[in-house]
Structure formats: structure tokens, C-alpha cells
Amino acid sequence: MKKIYFLSFCFLILFKLGYAQQNPAASISVNFQQVTIDQFVTELEAKSGYHFYYDPIRFDSLKVTVQVNNKPLETVLDMAFKNTNFHYAIADRQVFLTRGREIQTRLAAGFFGTSPLAKSSPNIITNVPVADFTDEKEKKVPEATTENKLYEIGIKTNTIGSGKATLSGYVRDGKSGESIVGASIYVTNTKTGVATDQFGYFTIVLPKGRQILSIRGIGMRDTRRQIVLYSDGKLIIEMQEQVTSLKEVKISAEKVANVRNVQLGVNRLDIKSIKQVPTVFGEADVLRVVLTLPGVQSVGEATTGFNVRGGSADQNLILLNDATIYNPSHFFGFFSAFNPDVVKEIELYKSSIPERFGGRLSSVLDVTNREGNKKKFTGSAGIGLITSRLNVEGPIVKDKTSFSFGGRITYSDWLLRLLPEAYKHSQASFYDFNLDISHQIDDKNNIYLTGYISKDKFKLNSDTAYNYSNRNANIKWKHNFNDKLFSLITAGVDHYQYGIASFDNPVNAYKLNFDINQTNFKTDFTYYLNRKNTVDFGVSSIYYKLHPGNLQPNNVQSLVVPDVVPSQQALESAAYVGDKYDITDDLSLSAGIRYSLYNYLGPQTVYNYAPNLPKTSSNFLDSTTYAKSKVIKTYSGPEIRVSARYNLGDNTSVKGGYNTLRQYIHLLSNTTAIAPTDVWQLSDPNIKPQYGDQVSLGIYHNLKSNTIETSVEVYYKRLRDYLDYRSGANLVLNHHIENDVLGTEGKAYGIEFLIKKATGKANGWISYTYSRTFLKQNDPNAGELINGGAYYPANFDKPHDFNFIGNYRVSHRFSVSLNVTYSTGRPITLPIAKYVYGGSERVYYSDRNAYRIPDYFRSDFSINIDGNHKVHQLTHNSFTIGVYNLTGRQNAYSAYFTQQAGVISGFKLSIFAKPIPFINYNIRF
Amino acid sequence: MIRKWNYIYCLSLLAMIGTACRKPYNPQVISNDNHYLVVEGVVNSGNDSTVISLSRTVKLSEDVRTQAVTNYTVAVEGEQGGNYVLQSQGNGKYEIGPMHLDATKKYRLHITTPEGKEYASDYVEVKQTPPIDSIGFMPKNNALQLYVNTHNAANNTRYYRWDYEETWKFHARYQSDYIVDAITKEVRGRHPDEDVYICFASDKSSTIVLGSSEKLSQDVIFQGPITTIPRNAEKLELRYTILLKQYALTKEAYQFWENLKKNTEQLGSIFDAQPTQLKGNIHNINDPAEPIIGYVSVSSTQSKRVFIDNTQLPQDWIAKYPYDCEQPDSALFFNPKTGIREVEAYIINGGSIPVSAIAPTGFIIGFTYSSESCTVCTIRGRVQKPSFWKEK
């Protein structure tokens, strides 16, 4: 190979002068049918008198078929080598045949000094493949790094066959080597598109021939690639980070995705847009931004539990790199469990929940962490009022293995010491650590490891100490069988626990622990059947083991009797298959079915109650004891996931969907907000799984070349066997929780409007939602009727909800953000009468949730100042300064009536009753 | 014991953020014309009298706290016979002397209205209340924590409720030696029976105090919290006493009281339970759907009194006088500079209280004076020493 280049170069020098004087060659006539190179050259040399130079070994695969009459030699050679990897160069009656590299017989313009050509734009799109002589190694998969090059895919033939071929590949960040999730690859000619999966892979079926791919990714510069597709093949696309527009809102990976995608009710946010939304302590908060999306609500400010389309907070499946996070909050709900420096993006499924997810009724919040930088060590650090963060990432083996580590700690005790005496001796702290490792074994195999640990501890002035902790670990193996079949195998363990301990009173000293453990295993396959069909299928299994409560004495003098609620075990399995079917260019259908099977397992003693009577201790009949691993109760059923999209033109589409879901695990909480010490409960013979279904319809329209997205979605949802509580229910250390809970029915409906401008100096979104959620308990056999069996509004029923998120980039280094939120006050139960009892005035309560607290309004403002944008400098600095609750409105968190010194009075409690200024300093290195 | 955490959790949370705020809230008139029957009291099975209070609920917006019911017929009935009719005391209270009920039988309360409506409680068992072992106190977080110890060796009481009456001795800010004679309208020395410097005040418990040994291996209440008194409370200025009454409860009665406490004392914080309907054990015999508030228990009562003297408390605990009192001002019979007859103007006609005489030469030329709230303890107490009061 090298020899040829050298040889060619020598000839170039020698015959340079002669080239200009080359005479037009004589015409020749040949007729080759599948001849070898030797036959081909021998005949041409004889007929033309030219001398050919070539390496026979490199041409052994070539078979030439050409038939011409009286054409110049160049035409013969052009025809013979057309659309192949072979090239020729003619210089002074010498013909050089090369493979893969073309010999330029002319020196580059400007080689001997300035030339007008040298000043021309380097962005001229040259259609001629340019051989890169410095690239010694021929790689198997072309890495497409520039726009102006034509990349050839597949086995080259001199004629491009008709029909279609499969292009598969991988999109990554050219700088860090990190995969780019959700990047869209859109083919202009065919108006087809595809998005990369969670590991940056994509597969698309295209007509053979010349194609232009437009590639767009979150936070990446839009780019395109030119390819010639000969047959099935692979392509690695490297994209460049969008360095100059750090503060651009990018809510959706694909600008046309909301119109083209078959799914409804999906929102994707990347960390950059999350980071520019002002938050109370200045630290970016994933869950807080989720709350600004249409259809997402919460009961109040200090809660991280959120409600999606009328579902309760425990009906959201919260995944961090596929690990289930049972408690997504820190520090009384003021921080979310996700470190903003580690998170890459989030995706919220509100309506069309893909078949591969299951186990919760309302939504899936899929949080993805960044992969570590595969090329160099980088990091970032942030300092806020209460927390500090550090993130380090880099290669372990360059281009193969990388890690990403993130940690957060609090130092809030100084804040607590500033408080009045009564709270001075409190302590509260948390930490969390993320470790992600990704390793590329080879082209076809990737391994990903995720580890997460978090812990919260607080001891208030009382003698009682609380703590809770999430611990998760999983391993994923991605394997590409071929260009059409991909698999992902995941195995992991998820753990959540809390503990309460009391020390001061030696006789009553106790510790109480709760934990939940799940071991899960799942396989997901994607098969690109053909251009019109993409099939997903897989199986999954989760083994649950819960310890619902364990009370133990905390010292030797303690008289506390150990009280252990027996552990609960269950196995939740599912198999699914789904097909995305593009029926025509305009009509697409995604239909799938998931069959879930739930086994409640022994050892366990189950109480049996008289049929058709409330499950209370008075109706207790007898109990049955089951041995270890014995199947006590099985629940199963199909879950349907269907959605369809019809394009009404290039920028408009209409979508519809229907899905059903089942949930086998319940959070027991009779407080308004989720408390960290709420317990989870598995379905058992006395507690039925929850069931929900939803039908939704949406219209999507993009304006101004897809820079403005608009959508309207409506939904109607039904819930069955959602747990509510009997009056005065006790949920802690309850051996027979069925005595204290009630199965309720629910219905929810709403309409959501969204207008979003994703690019430009001014960007952001406006959402408005009108929604209602009602529950009812009207089965007298189940126990007490709530509100006489009529529908009553759920705690999170807030009909009107308006959000505005805006960002204006004054310059590349300076931007301002404004956030405005309005919603109807949430329902509460208010007293309707008063009386004197136990030495004090007391109140008598109305029907459940018959009244509302005052409406909620808040606006936040922040200024983001970046250091200079030189790409190559040691550290990049940025500041965020802002004010939370700019107007200082005293929004009611709750309204309640309580007695003080024997007199009943009404109070309105506000959590953030004043404007709260904040500052945050971040460093990237 | 475990549940109280919610409450504390919230308070601290709010304080920690420091920006939280609690404002009075009076929503638009919530009206309901129903006046539900409220029944309160313990049927005393021992050798003490039984008092049952009957009232009706009132609207939240009304100024009256309650509406007493005076002309009903109230009786205690035994499941196996026995009928004890209570006498109306006129103010909604119905009373009967010691009944010495049979502790092995069950009893209920039966109420008849003049219109013939009948209400009855469930038949409930008689609970024997064990004696109070001791009442203790200790300084904790700048307050005095009072607690109770009790136990039942038979391990069958388990659920307890307490109420109490506190009495304390206190004094006015300044001792007034003089008084304006009601008849002569002249300032003269106070007679001993006119002294208003030292008084006694008392108060009844207004919070629900509960305890349970449900989760303990023995039926022991150790340092069960009763009440806390801030370190600067006037109650602790001189001498303080508490009469604690102890009632044994059934599990159901305990749950009722606990719910009532949750519903009316432990609300408003972020993680507190939502208010729920209160279910008692009294029903309208003909209309089970009618809401009736109250839970009737049958038990004996135990009580104990302790005294706490100021000398038993940390020395740096200083009571804060409830009113702002400046140093007594001077009033002369005649002020030569201004020409005002100050004693007449300020004290005799102005209502101020003379404190001490101004007599620079041994001859009274005027009096120092102060406000009534700084000199007269009877505006919030009684001079009369209670019969149970014991000095150190």
C-alpha cells in the first residue's frame, strides 16, 4: 500500500510537466463481461498504448463489465470503476489504478503560493470523496466527523442497486465520546426519521444511493452527513457540542419529534434547560422542573411527590438509569435525589407508556445519567447555600471505558444554629453519590454499571432521630446481534429503608426500621423488521422483599416489646411485545401488549374475613399460614398500549392513544404530602392491585420552521382499587393493614395546552392545564362510606394550572430567566361546627375535601452569568443569582383549625412567605 | 409515642427554613345549620361522683363557644340491669353521686330529649384505674417538663388519659400599701384583708393528654409527658401545684381521644394526617346516621397532687411579668411647679393605684402610683388561699 503511494508520488513529480501537454487519447472499443483486472488491463494497454500501474492483489475482487464503442480511455475507466472503491489517474500515458485512495495528479491550488482559490470558503460541498492519506488504519466502521465528506456505506458496487438497505450506527459527542441519546436522524429525501436509543444507537432503513442525513441532538450543534448507501452498513456520527449557546432551552431532542412521534404525552428535558429554571436554593432541581410541565402537579411546595394526570404520587415509576428510586427527595423535600451535575436528561411519559415499562399507574419518569467522558478527565463543582457538589469523569481506558462520579453533601448545620433556641439543637444532613461506568467491549457489546447511594439524617430538637436511604446498583449489557436486532439485558438491586430511633426516655427507647428490597432482571429486544416495522419485545421479573416494620428496644432498660411485622414477598413478572408500524408515510401505529403476572409468596399468615363484609377485626374468620415460597395469591392480566399518529401535513399531526396499567405495590400515606416514613405495601389476598386505564387524544402543530411547537392533549382516565384510609387509620406497625384501608374508585380528566419556543434569544414554554380528579368509596360492604359514597376531589385536584418558563439571552455570557406559576388551591377538609370537649374548643369537620385553600401564585427570577467562553481554558465559571417567590406572596400551603389555650382558631400556613434570594457558583474543569 | 414525630418534624422544618409563616385564616362563612349533640364525661364506677356534660355544636362564626343542653334525661344503665338517673345541674351538666358499679358488668349512658329522641352509648366495660405512682418534673429545652409515672402490675390497663388542674401563687409587680377609701375618697393604708399583692390562680387542662404502654412488655408509663411550662412563666414564680387525674381507657376510647387530638391539636404541618371523621360510641337509637360527638367510658379515677416550689428550679429562671410596668411615678398632693393636685387628679379620680408614700421629711407629701395591672393581682387571680394549698 505504502509502496504504491510512494511510487505514485514519484511519478507525479516526474510527469508533472508532461501532464499539461497530454493529448486527447484515441478512442477505443471494448466489450468486457465479468473479466478480471489482468484481462482488463492487458486489453486496454494493447488498445490504447498507455501503461498501467496497479497492485493485482488489491484488485482481485474486481470483475469488470463494460461495453463501449469508440470512446476515450477515460470513459472506459469511468464506466468500469463507477460506484466502486477503485480509482484511476492518468498522467502522460501512464495510468495508475488505486483502491480506496485516489491519486491527485495535480497539486493543490495555492501549493506554489497564494491563489484566488485558496480564499474560497472551506464549506464548499465537494462531492468527490477525498482520500485522507494521513489515516493509516482502515477502520471497519466509518466515523463521520465532518459534513463535507461523502461517506460510503456497505459493500461498494459500481452500480447502485435499487431497493433499500439498513443503516445502523451510533451517535456520540466528538469531544467526550459520550453517546447522545435521543438525537434525531432525519432523511430529507424520504422524509423519514429515527431517534437514537438510550445508548446512542439508531437503525434506519433507507433507499440505496445518495442520502443526506440531518442530525440534531440536545445541546449539540445541528449537523448533517452525506452518505452513499450501497448495502446494509454502519456509521458512527460524531457531533460537536453547541458551545456558544449554553443557555438555549432545548426541551425536545427533535424539533419535529412532537409532531412525528407516535407517542403522546411525552416530555423530554435536558439538564441545560433544567438548570436555567430558578429554584429555591439555587441548585438545579430535576423534579421541580417536571412540575412545570403540563399535567404535572403537586400538593404543595415542600414536597417532591408529584401527581401526573390525576394519579397519586406513588403511581409514578421513578427510574435512575433503570434503577427504581423509592424516595426521590432529600432534606424534607427541598432537594430532589438527583444530582444535577450527573444527570443528563429526563423523560416523562404521561400517556403513551412504552410496553417495556410497567408496575405503576400514572407515569414513568426516566432519569438518565451522563456517561463519563471517554477522552479526557473533566469535572465540575458547585457551591450553594446548603449543598456542595463535585463531579469527576474521565476515561479508564481511552475510548473504551469511562467513569462518572458525582457527590453532594450538605453543611446545613450552620443554618440551624442561627435559629431560635427551640430549634438550635436540631441536625439535618444528607449526601448522595453516583458512580456510572461504561465500557465498550467491541462494536457489538457494551457494558454499563450504575451505582447510587443516598442518605438523609435528621434529629430535631426532640429526642428522636430519623434517617432514610436509597441504595441501587445495576449492570446492563447491550448487545447488537446484527444491524437489525439489539438486546439489552439488565440486572440490578434496589433498596430503600428508613429508621427512627429514640434515646432519651430509657423505658420507652426504641428503634423502628422499615425497608424494601427488590431484585430485578429484564431483557429488552428491539428488532427492525423492515422499513415499516420496528418490534420491541422482552421479559422482566422483579422479586420484592419488604420488611414493613421492625420495632426493637434501643437499650437494656427499655421495656419496648420487639414488634416485627412479618416480611412480605412477591414476584412481579411481565412479558411484552410491541410493534411500531408505519402504515403509510403519514399514518403510524404503535401497538403493544404487556402481560403482567404477580405472585404473592410465603412465608406468610393471611387473615380470612367473612365475605361481603368490611375487612375489620370483627369480621375476622380465621387465618391461613403458608410455607416459604408458596404462592399465596396470583393476580395477572394484560395491559394494552396503543397509540397512533396521522400527519396532517408537514407540521401538523393528530395522535390518539389508549393504555391500561396495573400496580401491585402501594404507598401507605394518610398525610397530604409524602412523608419519608411512609411505608410501602404489597398487594395480597386482602389488598387488590390497582388498575388504571387512560384514553387520550392530541393535536400537534409546529410553526416557523419548527421553532415553535404547540400541542393540545385531552385525556380521560379511570382508576380502580386505589387505596384510601378509614378515619383514624394507623399505618405504622400495622399487622393487618387491610383493617385500615379502603379501596376507592377514581376518575380524572383534563385538557393540556403547551406552546414552546425552543430556540432563539427568547425561549421557553407556556403551559396551561385544566384537569379534575375525583375518588369515591361507595361500597358499603367495604366499610365506611366517604362523603356518603359520592365522588370527592382528590387532594391534588387543582383544576387550573398555568406555568410560564422564559429565558432571554442578552449575550452569550448573560441571560435572565423568569418563571411564573399559578394554580387553583388544593382541596381541604374544613370544619363546619365547633364545640367544647376535653377543656378546649374543638371543631367538627365537613365532608372530605369539600373546600379549597386560596389560589397559588409564584414568580421566580434568576440571572445566569457565565465566565468567558474560550473553549480552551483551565476552568469555566458560572454564577446564578436569583430570587425565589419574587412577589413574596404568602401562598397557603395549608389552612387548618387548631386549638391554643382552649380557643380554636383558623390558620393559614405558608412555607416560602418571603422573597428568597439565592446564589450558586459553579466551576467546570 | 411513635406518632408524635410528625408534629415535631413539621415544626422544626418550618423553623429551619425560617421563612415559613402562619397567618390567621378565616375563610368565607362556612355555614351548616345543624347543631350536633356533644356528650362528654366519664361514668365513674368508683367512689367519686359522675358528671356528664351535654351540649350542641355551634357555627364557627358564632361568638359563643358552645350551647348547653339542660332539659334532657340522662341515665347510666347496666347491661344486666341497674338504672341511675343523673340530675341536671342547669348548665348542661348532669350529676350523680358515687354509684359503685360492678366492675365485671358493662354499662352505657342513655339520653332522652324532651322531643322523645333517644341516644345511647355502646355498653362499655368498667376499667379500673391504677394509682398514680409519682409526678415528676425536670427542666428541658428552657421549659419545665412535668411527667407522670404509673404502672399496673396486672398488665391490663395499657391505655391512659389524664387531665389536670394547675394552681399557682403569684404576686403583682408592685406592692400597694395604700388604697383609695371607697367612702371617704381619700388615700389611706390598706387593711390586711385588702391586700392585693399575693394571689392564687388556677387553670384546667385544655389539651388532650394520652399515654399507652401497648408496645411495652410491662404495663408501665415512665415519664409520660403531662405538660410543659416555659421557664419565664408566672406559674413558676413562687409556688405551683398540679392535681392530676388519671383515667384508664379501653383501646377504642384511646383511639377516639387520639383521633380527636390529631384532628384538633396536631394539624397544619406538612406531614400531619388529614382531618378525618370522628367516630364516638354514642348513637341515635332510631337514626344511626345522625352524627353524635363523644365517647363515654366507665372507669374509676385516681388523682394525685404535687407542689413545685420556685427554689426547686434553676436559679436563673426568672418569671416575666405579663404586663409592662414602668417604675411607679410620683404624685404630690400639690405640685408647686405646675399647680396640679396630682394625688387627686391621678389617683383619686384618675384610677391609678397608690403604691407607697412619699415622705422625705417624715411627712407624707404624696404617693407613688402605678397601674392596676401592675399592682392588683386580683384581676387575674384570687387572694383567697385554696383549701388544698400547702406552703413549704
Q: What is the pLDDT of residues B289-318, one digit of tens each?
A: 888 999 999 999 999 999 999 999 998 888
> Over A407-468, what HEC string results?
EEEECCHHHHHCCCHHHHCCEEEEEEEEEEEEEEEECCEEEEEEEEEEEEEEECCCCEEEEE
* Low-confidence winner among A112-126, B136-150, B293-307 (lowest mean pLDDT): A112-126
CA distance A259 to A702: 7
- Residue A627 included in any domain: yes
- Residue A518 included in any domain: yes
Do A419 and B16 make contact, defined as CB atoms within 8 angstroms? yes
**Alpha-carbon gap: B260 to the closest alpha carbon of chain A (Å):** 8
The domain boundary, picked from B91, B125, B159, lies at: B125
pLDDT for the residue numbered A130: 42
- Residue B187 included in any domain: yes
- At residue A246, what are phi and psi to the nearest 5 degrees? -65, -25
The secondary structure of A256-311 as a DSSP string is: THHHH-S-SSEEEEEHHHHHTS--TTSS--HHHHHTTSTTEE-SSTT----EETT-
Residues B145 and B294 in one domain: yes
CATH number of A69's domain:
3.55.50.30
* Cis omega (within 30 of 0) for bond into A603: yes
Do B275 and A845 make contact, defined as CB atoms within 8 angstroms? yes
- Residue B317 included in any domain: no
pLDDT for the residue numbered A569: 94
Q: What is the pLDDT of residues A291-302, one digit of tens each?
A: 888 888 887 776
CATH number of A596's domain:
2.40.170.20
Q: What is the pLDDT of residues A498-528, one digit of tens each?
A: 888 888 788 888 899 999 999 999 999 999 8
pLDDT for the residue numbered A139: 42
In the structure, what pLDDT confidence band is assigned to residue B271 with cuts at 50, 70 and 90? low
In the structure, what pLDDT confidence band is assigned to residue A116 with cuts at 50, 70 and 90? very low
DSSP symbol at B344: I
pLDDT for the residue numbered A213: 85
- Residue A775 included in any domain: yes
Strands B118-121 and B106-112: antiparallel
The domain boundary, picked from B312, B340, B356, lies at: B312
- B138 near A CB under 8 A: no
pLDDT for the residue numbered A6: 47
Range B130-158 average pLDDT: 92
Do A416 and B204 make contact, defined as CB atoms within 8 angstroms? no
Count of A-B CB contacts under 8 Å: 262
CA distance A353 to A659: 8
**Alpha-carbon gap: B92 to the closest alpha carbon of chain A (Å):** 12
- Residue A127 included in any domain: no
Using a CB-CB distance cutoff of 8 angstroms, which residues of chain B are in contact with residue A828?
A: 274
pLDDT for the residue numbered A9: 46
Range B129-151 average pLDDT: 92
Residues B103 and B237 in one domain: no
Distance (Å) of CA B121 to CA A835, B43, B95, B284: 19, 11, 17, 9
Q: What is the pLDDT of residues A200-211, one digit of tens each?
A: 888 888 888 888
Do B35 and A833 make contact, defined as CB atoms within 8 angstroms? yes
In chain A, the number of structural domains is: 2
**Angle of CA points A385, A387, A392, to nearest 5°:** 130
Do A673 and B269 make contact, defined as CB atoms within 8 angstroms? no
pLDDT for the residue numbered A19: 42
* Low-confidence winner among A107-116, B36-45, B47-56 (lowest mean pLDDT): A107-116
Which one has a higher pLDDT value, A614 or B306?
Answer: B306
Identify whether the C-beta of residue B87 lies closer than 8 Å to the C-beta of residue B96: yes
In the structure, what pLDDT confidence band is assigned to residue A414 with cuts at 50, 70 and 90? low
User: Is the pLDDT confidence value at A155 over 80?
Assistant: no
Residues B168 and B227 in one domain: yes
Residues B184 and B246 in one domain: yes
Do B60 and A838 make contact, defined as CB atoms within 8 angstroms? no
pLDDT for the residue numbered B246: 95
CA distance B154 to B140: 32
Kindly report the number of other CB atoms within 10 A of residue A675's CB atom. Answer: 23
Range A436-457 average pLDDT: 91
User: Is the pLDDT confidence value at B16 over 60?
Assistant: no
H-helix or E-strand spanning residue B223:
strand B220-230
Q: Which three cell numbers stand for residue A218?
A: 440536545
Residues B146 and B98 in one domain: no
- B262 near A CB under 8 A: yes
- Residue B369 included in any domain: no
Positive or negative, the CA dihedral A578, A580, A583, A589 is positive
- Residue B174 included in any domain: yes
Do B60 and A835 make contact, defined as CB atoms within 8 angstroms? no
In the structure, what pLDDT confidence band is assigned to residue A752 with cuts at 50, 70 and 90? very high
* Low-confidence winner among A322-336, A363-377, A772-786, B160-174 (lowest mean pLDDT): A772-786
pLDDT for the residue numbered A870: 66
- Most confident range (mean pLDDT) of A103-112, A146-155, B189-198 is B189-198
Q: Which of B35, B222, B264 sits opposite A898 (nearest CB)?
A: B264
Residues B92 and B192 in one domain: no
pLDDT for the residue numbered A654: 92
Identify whether the C-beta of residue A537 lies closer than 8 Å to the C-beta of residue A576: yes
Residues B82 and B181 in one domain: no
The string over B169-202, giving b where at least 16 C-beta atoms fall within 10 Å of a residue's C-beta and e elsewhere, is: bbbbbbebebbbeeeeeebeeeeeeebbbebbbe
Q: What is the pLDDT of residues B48-74, one digit of tens each?
A: 899 999 999 988 877 787 888 888 999
Range A275-295 average pLDDT: 80
Q: Which three cell numbers stand for residue A569?
A: 414477598
In the structure, what pLDDT confidence band is assigned to residue B261 with cuts at 50, 70 and 90? confident
Percent of all residues in chain B with a pLDDT value above 90, rounded to a whole number: 53
- Residue A132 included in any domain: no
Hey, which bits of B282-336 come out as E strands?
282-284, 292-293, 297-299, 301-309, 329-332
pLDDT for the residue numbered A160: 75
Using a CB-CB distance cutoff of 8 angstroms, which residues of chain A are in contact with residue B272?
A: 671-672
Hey, which bits of B250-327 come out as E strands?
282-284, 292-293, 297-299, 301-309
* Low-confidence winner among A121-130, B227-236, B262-271, B372-381 (lowest mean pLDDT): A121-130
Residues B155 and B274 in one domain: yes
Contacts of B103 (CB under 8 A, 6+ apart): B45, B126, B128
Percent of all residues in chain A with a pLDDT value above 90, rounded to a whole number: 24
Q: Which chain B residue is nearest to residue A502, measuring alpha carbons?
A: B2
In the structure, what pLDDT confidence band is assigned to residue A289 with cuts at 50, 70 and 90? confident
- Residue A5 included in any domain: no
Identify whether the C-beta of residue A275 lies closer than 8 Å to the C-beta of residue A340: yes
The domain boundary, picked from A84, A104, A124, lies at: A104
pLDDT for the residue numbered A672: 62
Using a CB-CB distance cutoff of 8 angstroms, which residues of chain A are in contact with residue B271?
A: 671, 673, 675
pLDDT for the residue numbered B63: 79
CATH number of B88's domain:
2.60.40
pLDDT for the residue numbered A601: 93
User: Is the pLDDT confidence value at A674 over 90?
Assistant: no
User: Is the pLDDT confidence value at A466 over 60?
Assistant: yes
- Residue B381 included in any domain: no
- Residue A243 included in any domain: no
**Alpha-carbon gap: A502 to the closest alpha carbon of chain B (Å):** 9
pLDDT for the residue numbered A610: 82
* Low-confidence winner among A250-259, A313-322, A850-859 (lowest mean pLDDT): A250-259
Residues B118 and B133 in one domain: no
In the structure, what pLDDT confidence band is assigned to residue A427 with cuts at 50, 70 and 90? confident
- Residue B191 included in any domain: yes
Domain that holds residue B35: 31-125
- Residue B389 included in any domain: no
CA distance A822 to A826: 12
pLDDT for the residue numbered A159: 72
In the structure, what pLDDT confidence band is assigned to residue B14 with cuts at 50, 70 and 90? very low
Residues B202 and B286 in one domain: yes
* Low-confidence winner among A132-136, A208-212, A220-224, A260-264 (lowest mean pLDDT): A132-136
The domain boundary, picked from B125, B149, B181, lies at: B125
**Portion 197-236 of B in contact with A at CB < 8 A:** 204-208, 213, 215-218, 220, 222-223
Q: What is the pLDDT of residues A899-921, one digit of tens each?
A: 777 677 788 777 777 787 878 78
CA distance A857 to A854: 10
User: Is the pLDDT confidence value at B345 over 80?
Assistant: yes
CA dihedral A157, A161, A163, A166 (to 10 degrees): 10
Identify whether the C-beta of residue B112 lies closer than 8 Å to the C-beta of residue B123: no
In chain B, the number of structural domains is: 2
Do B267 and A896 make contact, defined as CB atoms within 8 angstroms? yes
CA distance A199 to A450: 14
The domain boundary, picked from A59, A77, A104, lies at: A104
In the structure, what pLDDT confidence band is assigned to residue B32 with cuts at 50, 70 and 90? low
Do B32 and A902 make contact, defined as CB atoms within 8 angstroms? no
Residues B147 and B278 in one domain: yes
Using a CB-CB distance cutoff of 8 angstroms, which residues of chain B are in contact with residue A332?
A: 9, 13, 16, 270
Domain that holds residue A566: 266-924
User: Is the pLDDT confidence value at A2 over 60?
Assistant: no
Q: Which three cell numbers stand for residue A192?
A: 423519514
Strands A28-35 and A51-53: unpaired
pLDDT for the residue numbered B215: 82
pLDDT for the residue numbered A424: 62
- Residue B347 included in any domain: no
Q: What is the pLDDT of residues A691-726, one digit of tens each?
A: 999 999 999 988 877 778 899 999 999 999 888 887
In the structure, what pLDDT confidence band is assigned to residue A872 with cuts at 50, 70 and 90? low
User: Is the pLDDT confidence value at A308 over 70?
Assistant: yes
* Low-confidence winner among A281-290, A761-770, B204-213 (lowest mean pLDDT): A281-290
Q: What is the pLDDT of residues A786-845, one digit of tens each?
A: 777 889 898 888 899 999 988 888 887 888 889 899 999 888 888 888 888 888 888 888
CA distance A918 to A281: 6
> HSE of A334 in the Cβ direction (CA atoms, 13 Å)?
22
In the structure, what pLDDT confidence band is assigned to residue A137 with cuts at 50, 70 and 90? very low
Identify whether the C-beta of residue A290 lies closer than 8 Å to the C-beta of residue A274: no
Edge-to-edge strand order for the sheet containing B143-151? B132-140, B143-151, B220-230
Residues B117 and B180 in one domain: no
User: Is the pLDDT confidence value at A530 over 90?
Assistant: no
CA distance A580 to A642: 10
Range A340-362 average pLDDT: 89
Q: What is the pLDDT of residues B92-133, one digit of tens each?
A: 999 999 999 998 999 999 999 999 999 999 999 999 999 999
